Amino acid sequence: MSNRVSAIIVRTIVFLIVGVGAVRSNAAELSRKESDLFERHARPILTAHCIKCHGEAKQEGGLRLTTLDELITGGDSGPAIVAGKPDESLIIEAIRYESYEMPPEEPLDDEIINGLVDWIAAGAAWPEDVQLTTRRSITDEDRDWWCYQPIAAIKPPQVAESAWGRNEIDGFVHRRLVEKELQPADQATPMELVRRASFAITGLPPSDDAVKDAMSADFDYEAYVDQLLDSEAYGENQARFWLDLVRYADSDGYRADFNRPDAYLYRDYVIRSFNADKPYDQFIREQLAGDEIDPGNRDAIIATMYLRHWIYEHNNRDVENQWHEILSDITETTSDVFLAQGLKCARCHDHKFDPLLQNDYFRIKAFFAALQPVSEHPVADVATRAAYRKQLANYNERTKELRSQLREIEYPVALEHATREGFDKFIVEIQTMVKKPASEREPYEQQIASMAERQFDLPYEKLDQWLSEEQQAERAKLKARLAKLDHLKPKPLSTVKFVATDVGPIAPTNFNPDDSDRVPVVPGFITLLDESDAAISPTPAALQTTGRRTALANWIASADNPLTARVIVNRIWQQHFGRGLVATSSDFGRLGTPPTHPELLDYMAKQFVADGWSFKQLHRLILTSATYRQTSRRPMDRSTSRIDPTNELFWRMNPRRLSGEEIIDAILTSGGELAATKRAIYKKVERNSPDPLLKTFDGPDRIRSSGRRHRTTTSTQSLLLGNSSWAHERADSIVRHLVDSQGMTDTMLVRRAYRKLFSRDPTGDEVALAEDFVKRYAERTPVEEPRPTVSLAKLPGDAGLAVRLSGTSTSQIKLGETKGLPDSDFTVEAHVLLESLYKDASVRTIATHWNGSNKSSGWSLGVTSQKSSYKPRNLILQLVGKTDKGDQLQYEVVASGLRVPLNKPCFVAASVDLSDATKAGVTFYLRDLSDPDAVLQVSNVEHTVTSAVRGTGDFVVGSRHGKHRWDGLIGSVRIENKRRDLALVAQADSDAGLPQYSVDYRFDLKESIGLDSSGSHLHAVVSPKTPPAKTPRQRARVALIHALMNSNELIYVD
C-alpha cells in the first residue's frame, strides 16, 4: 500500500510543481527522471542564481538563459551548455569558478553545482514552452484556482429521502453520499445531542435541567440550540477561537514579558461582539479601522487593539528593524486570519506555489504603512475631535514661544538623564529623530522616534537638581506663565489605552527592502483579484489618518470578496466538525487542500452574507442540520472504510475532544466552582509562562496566528490530569458538591456523577463497577490521623519547638481578643527562623496589629523581601499613627538595618518609646541563636509617628490579612506594653522590673498551638480549624470522581 501511494504522491508533486510554472507545460513529454532533474535542479538554479542578469531585464555578456534554445545558443562567449557534456559546458565552468566566477557574489554549494551537472549529463531535458522568469506572472491556471472564483449562488439540492434532510446543508451532503453509494447515519440520542450542542456553542457541559429535558419525550432540540446561542456563555466560547487567530495575549513576549494591562478590553470586546451577534463585516471593519470608521464609538476604538497583539521587545536598540517586523507581522496575520492566504511566503520572493507576488506582500503592507501604536486615543466623533483640535491648535499657537523656551532648558537635560533603558544607547540616526520636536518629524521619523521613546522616561519632576540656579529660576517663571494659559487647553477627551491609529494623514513611503531602487509600493490588493492600485478616500482632517486601513477593511469585508465569507464559514464548520470543508483553514492555496463540498461552502458563504453576516444564524444552520445531528458512534464498515475512511463525506458525525479551556470549565462546573473562579477564557495569557493545562492540551503560543489547534495525546497530559494537586482538589470539590446529605449512598453518588460529568445515566453495570471500585479502594486505604492545618517543628539548636508557617498556606493564627494590646509604648519579641523571601517587595510578617491600610492605625513587625526599597532581609517596623504635626494618620517604615539571616534561628525584637521621635525612640534587637558566640545586634532608629498606633482588627502572627506571610518557623511571640531595654538582663529589683507580658505565645504544645502563658488568657485561634481526617470511603469516592474526570468519556464528545 505504501509503495503505491507514495508513487502516486510523487507523480502528483511533479504535476504540481510543473503545473505552477510560468508557462503552462506538459510534463508528460519528459520522462519522470528528466522532469525531476529539470524541476529540482535546472529550473531553481537558473531562476535563483542566473536569470537576474541573464534574463528578460538584462543580458550581461549577451547571454540570456530563460529557454533551452538560449542556453544552447549562448552569448558572446559561445554556448552555455553542451547537452550531455557538463565538463564542456561553459555554465558549469563558470559556476565552478574555473573561468568566469558566477554568481559573482559567492560560489554556489557543490551540492547545487552537482545538480546542474546531473541535469546536463542526462541530456538537459527542458519541458516544452517553458520560459524561466524572475517575475511571476499570473496565468489562466492561477486564475482558475477555486478560491479566487466568485462565490456562486447555488440552489441547494433536494434530499430524495425527505425523511433525512432537515435543512439546505443536508441536500449537499446527501448528494455526495448517494454518489458514493453511502447512507447517512442515524440521529444521535437527545442526550448526546444536548451534550454535543452545549459544548459546541457554550464550551460548557449542559445544565442539569437540559439533561433532564433531553430525557423527556417532547424535547425540542432546535429551541435548545436557540437557548444556547442566547446565553452569555456563547460569546465566551466563540471568543476563544478568535483570540487564537489574532494571537491575543496579556503580555509582550520576549525576555521581560511585560504585562499589557489594557489588553483585556479587547478580549471582552470580542466576547461582547459575539454575544451581540455583531455582523462579521462590521467586526472586521472595527478591528482594522475602528478609529477611522466610527471614532466616537468606544468599542470601535478598543477593536483597533487587533493591531497591537504583536510581540514586542521593550529594549530593542534596533528600532527600525523591530518596527518593520511588527508591520510585517500585522500584514501576515491579516492575510492569514481574514483571507487564508499564505502571504508570508511572498515576503522574500513570489510565492512558489500560489499566485501571490512579492509585490502583493508590499501592496498589502502599504495599508499599514502609516500605522501608529498609541498609548491612548480619544473616543470622540469627528465634530468633537475637530473642535478639540481647533482649541488645541489655538493653545499651541498662544504658548508656542513659552513652550519652546521651556523645551530649550528642559529637554537636553531631561534626555541626558533619561530613565529605564536610557537614551544615549541608541545609534546616532535614532537619536537625531528623537531630538526633533514631534511637529517637525517626517511621518516615518515620528513612527521610529515614538518607538524609541517607549524605551525611556524623562525625569521632568527631578530636573531642577541638574539645572543651574539661573535656569531653575527661568524654568519656574516660564512654567508659571504657561500655567496661566491653562484655561486655553481643550477639555480632555475620554480615551482608551493601548490602541492604534495612523501617524497622520500622510503615510511614510512603503517599499520592498530587497529593491535597491526603493520604488514606492502603494496600497493594493492581491493582484490576481484586483491589479489596480487601491482607491483611498481621505478621512476627515480631525482624525489625522490616511484612510488606508478603511480601504483595506472595506475590500475584505465585502460580499464580493471571494475569500472573506468562505474563510470564516469554513472556520465555523471546522469548529463543529473538527475539520473544515477546506481542511487547511488558514491556507486556501495550492499547498492547502481544496474543499470537499465546494458547493456547500459557497452556499453557506452566500447565505452568511445574506443573513447579515450573522454568526448565530450560521451556527443555527449547521447545528440544526441532519448532518450535524448524526450519531458519531456508527462503526466503520466495509464500504465506508473502503470509500471514505476519514469521513470526508460525513456519513457520521466526528467525535470531538474538548479544548483545554473546555476541560477546565467542565471540571469547575461539575464542582460548582465556576462562578467563583471564572472561566478559562478570562485567565491572563502570559506568553512566556502559559497556563500549564492549557499549554499541555495544545493551547497555541499566541505568538503567531493559529487557525486550528493541534490535537496530541501525550503522557505529559496524563501526568498533569492524573497526578497534579489541581486535579485531585477538583475531584474533592466535585464530591463535596455532589454529596449533599450524610446518607448519600455510593449508588446515588455514581448516578449524580454520571449526570454531571457525562450528561447521562450510568448503566447498572457501570454503577456496580463504580461501587466495587469504591469498596476495594476503601479497603486498601489506611485510616488517617487528622492533620492539623499548622504543624510544629523544632527550631535548630536548643531553641525549642515552633509553629511551621508557609508562604503559600491559608492558615492563620490570630488572637481572640485584642483589648489588652498596647496603644502607645511597647516591646515585641519573637523567636523565628526565616526560610525564604518574597520575590517582590512583600513583607514577611512576624506579628501585626494592623489591617494593612495606610489609613488605619496599627503596627507590624516583619522582614523585607527581595525587591524592597529597604534592602532585603531587613527587620522593619511599619507604623501608622499620628505625628507631631497633626491629626492626620501617617504611614512609615522604621527600618532597623539589621539583616535577618535565612535558615537560622533568631531572636528578634523591637522596643518602642512612641513619643520619643529621636533615635532613642525605636530600638531593634537581633541575635543568631545558632551561634552561641553571636552578639546581640542593636540598632536605634528615628521615627515620626508619635501617637495613636493602636491597631484596629485582629492581632495576627505570621501574616497580614492573608498576605505578607511568614515562611519558616515562629517559636514564640511576646508583647509587653512598655518600652524595655533588652540589652540589659531583666531583674526584679531594677527600674524596669521583670517583664509583665500582655501576650506570651508559646508554640510548643501540639494540642494547643498559641497558648497564651502570660496569664491574660489571650489564647490564639488557629484557622481554619484542623479538618477532620477523610475516611477511607471518602478517599475512595474522591478517587472515583478523579478517575471519571480522567476518563475519555469526559474529554470526548460523541
Burial group, residue 742, by CB count within 10 angstroms (0-12, 13-18, 19+): exposed
- Cα-Cα-Cα-Cα torsion 58, 59, 61, 65, nearest 10 degrees, comes to 130
Contacts 24+ apart (CB under 8 A), 15-18: 16/353, 16/590, 18/127
Nearer to other proteins by Cβ, of 53 and 1043: the residue is: 1043
Q: Which is nearer to other proteins, 423 or 615 (CB)?
A: 423
**Contact criterion met (CB below 8 Å) for 893 and 952:** no
Lookup: cell for 454: 517607549
In the complex with other proteins, which residue's Cβ is closer, 353 or 388? 353
Pick the closest to residue 270 from 292, 249, 299, 250 (CA basis): 299
Distance of CA 17 to the CA centre of its chain: 38
Query: Nearest approach, Cβ of 286 to other proteins (angstroms)?
Result: 25
Place of cell 499549554: 695
| Nearer to other proteins among residue 698 and residue 1004 (C-beta) | 698
Q: Which residue's CB is nearer to other proteins, number 234 or number 588? A: 588
CB of 273 to other proteins, least distance (A): 25
Classify the C-alpha dihedral 587-590-592-597 as positive or negative.
positive
Shortest separation between residue 759's beta carbon and other proteins, angstroms: 14
Q: What angle do CA 403, 409, 410 make, to 5 degrees?
A: 80
Q: In terms of CB distance, is 426 or 525 closer to other proteins? A: 426
Distance CA 453, CA 420 (A): 11
Distance CA(478)–CA(210), nearest Å, equals 71
Q: How would you write 459-493 as a 3-class SS string?
A: CHHHHHHHCCHHHHHHHHHHHHHHHCCHHHCCCCC
Number of residues in the chain? 1054
Task: Read off φ and ψ for residue 975, nearest 5 degrees.
Answer: -130, 135
Minimal distance in Å, beta carbon 773 to other proteins? 4
53, 58, 62, 66: CA torsion to nearest 10 = 70
CB of 715 to other proteins, least distance (A): 4
DSSP, collapsed to helix, strand or coil, labels residue 71 as helix
Q: How far apart (Å, rounded) are the C-alpha atoms in residues 549 and 539?
A: 11
Burial 951-966 (b: 16+ CB within 10 A, else e): bebbbbbbbbeeebbb
CA dist., res. 304 & res. 443, Å (int): 20
Instruction: Report the nearest approach of other proteins to the CB of residue 6 (Å).
Output: 4
Q: Which is nearer to other proteins, 460 or 1052 (CB)?
A: 1052
Nearest to 1009 by CA among 802, 786, 800, 795: 802
Give least dist CB 317 to other proteins, A. 6
Burial of 719: CB neighbours in 10 Å, binned 0-12, 13-18, 19+? exposed
CB of 560 to other proteins, least distance (A): 24
- What is the smallest separation between the CB atom of 496 and other proteins, expressed in angstroms? 27
Nearer to other proteins, 271 or 649 (CB): 649
57's grid cell: 531585464
- Which of residues 33 and 407 has its CB atom nearest to other proteins in the complex? 33
Burial class for 270, CB neighbours closer than 10 Å (0-12, 13-18, 19+): buried
**Closer CB to other proteins, 40 or 978, in the complex:** 40
CB 457, min distance to other proteins, A: 18
Quickly count helices (H) and strands (E) in the chain. 36, 21
Query: Alpha-carbon distance 544 to 565, whole Å?
Result: 31
Burial 196-212 (b: 16+ CB within 10 A, else e): bbbbbbbbbbbbeebbe
What is the grid cell recorded at 1033? Answer: 470511603
Euclidean distance between the first and final Cα of the chain, in Å?
Answer: 31
The owner of cell 470522581 is: 1041
Can you tell me whether residue 971 is helix, strand or coil? strand
Q: How far is the CB of 561 from other proteins (least distance, A)?
A: 19
In angstroms, give the least distance from the CB of 1007 to other proteins.
Answer: 23
Which CA distances in Å does 750 have to 389, 665, 766, 767?
68, 21, 9, 6
- Output the nine-digit C-alpha cell for 353: 506555489
Q: What is the nearest approach in angstroms of other proteins to the Cβ of residue 783?
A: 12
Q: Which is nearer to other proteins, 746 or 954 (CB)?
A: 746
Q: How far is the CB of 255 from other proteins (least distance, A)?
A: 4
CA–CA gap between residue 356 and residue 1048 (Å, rounded)? 44
Give the nearest distance from C-beta 758 to other proteins in angstroms: 9
Q: Nearest approach, Cβ of 349 to other proteins (angstroms)?
A: 10
The residue type of 366 is: A
Phi/psi class of residue 702: alpha, beta or left (left: φ > 0; alpha: ψ in -120 to 50)?
left
Q: How far is the CB of 347 from other proteins (least distance, A)?
A: 11
Please report how close the Cβ of residue 713 comes to other proteins at its closest, in angstroms: 4
